[in-house]
């Protein structure tokens, strides 16, 4: 899927897990559904979308966009891992 940012950007027509306004309006319901799916082991991440953006000087740049609920779950897991293992991390480490 090739798109360019600006007036020519085309947004998908259906309900969209990549739309911040949709996710904000439905945040309570979405978070409860995701939490229940995580508890039951049924959560499946929404596939990321890949966009190709033309560069000004030629060529293309590929951008990968992750869904908002998927990003929230990822952050939740990351912070849980850090909280449990903070003493094992080196203070000079710059990675996860």
45-82 tens-digit pLDDT: 888 889 899 999 999 999 998 888 888 888 888 888 88
Map tokens 């293309």 to a residue: 60
pTM tops 0.85:
no
HSE at residue 37, side-chain half, CA atoms within 13 A, is 13
Could you tell me the end-to-end alpha-carbon distance of the chain, in angstroms, rounded to an integer?
Answer: 31
Residue 68: how many other CB atoms lie within 10 Å? 19
Cβ distance 54 to 60 under 8 Å? yes
Mean pLDDT of 16-29: 82
> H or E segment at 60?
strand 60-65
């Amino acid at each position: 899927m090739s798109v360019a940012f600006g007036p020519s950007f085309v947004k998908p027509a259906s309900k969209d897990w990549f739309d911040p306004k949709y996710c904000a309006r439905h945040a309570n319901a979405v978070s409860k559904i995701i939490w229940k799916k995580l508890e039951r082991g049924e959560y499946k991440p929404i596939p990321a979308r890949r966009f190709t953006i033309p560069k000004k000087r030629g060529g293309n740049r590929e951008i990968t966009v992750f869904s908002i609920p998927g990003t929230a779950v990822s952050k939740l897991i990351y912070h849980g891992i850090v909280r449990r293992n903070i003493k094992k991390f080196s203070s000079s480490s710059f990675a996860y």
